[in-house]
Amino acid sequence: MSLRRRSPRVPHLLLAASLLGALLAPSAAAASAHRSPSGEPGGTGGTGGRGLPLRVATYNIHAGAGMDGVFDLDRQTAELRSLQADVIGLQEVDRHWGSRSEWRDLAGELARRLRMHVSFAPIY
């Protein structure tokens, strides 16, 4: 009989919720620190006491390639910018992993181009 060490498995839903929470926490903190036009803390200026809107998007960048298979980070940046999102969850993001993305840090580059913060969690 062989003994195998089993690693604990986290349900995908719990993992996704944790990652989403980690992404949204900085945005929520920034929103709560916002001041209204009258200078009052809370950031409800003009929204009827409902708080600030937060636009969240998800997007698969296919390692920087478009639907035509051509690597074009400028095109990806323009598409992401057009979403006008405060938080964007990206899928298929390479970070120095292969020639398909020219060995570039796509997460870091997109964050700089979009003037956003990046949090990266590799899946392998």
Predicted confidence band at 106 (pLDDT cuts at 50, 70, 90)? Answer: confident
| Long-range pairs, 56-60, Cβ under 8 A, ≥24 | 56/24, 56/85, 56/86, 56/87, 56/88, 56/89, 57/83, 57/85, 57/87, 57/88, 57/89, 58/88, 58/89, 58/90, 58/91, 59/83, 59/88, 59/89, 59/90, 59/91, 60/90, 60/91, 60/92
Q: Dump pLDDT digits (tens) for 69-88.
A: 899 999 999 999 999 999 99
Whether 7 maps to a domain, the answer reads no
**Does the residue 22 lie in any domain?**
no
10-35 pLDDT tens trace: 455 555 555 666 655 555 555 555 44
Query: Which domain, by its residues, includes 78?
Result: 55-124
Report the number of distinct structural domains present in the chain: 1
* pLDDT bucket at 59, cuts 50 / 70 / 90: very high
In a domain, 96, yes or no: yes
Q: Is the pLDDT assigned to residue 91 strictly greater than 70?
A: yes
Global pTM reads 0.57
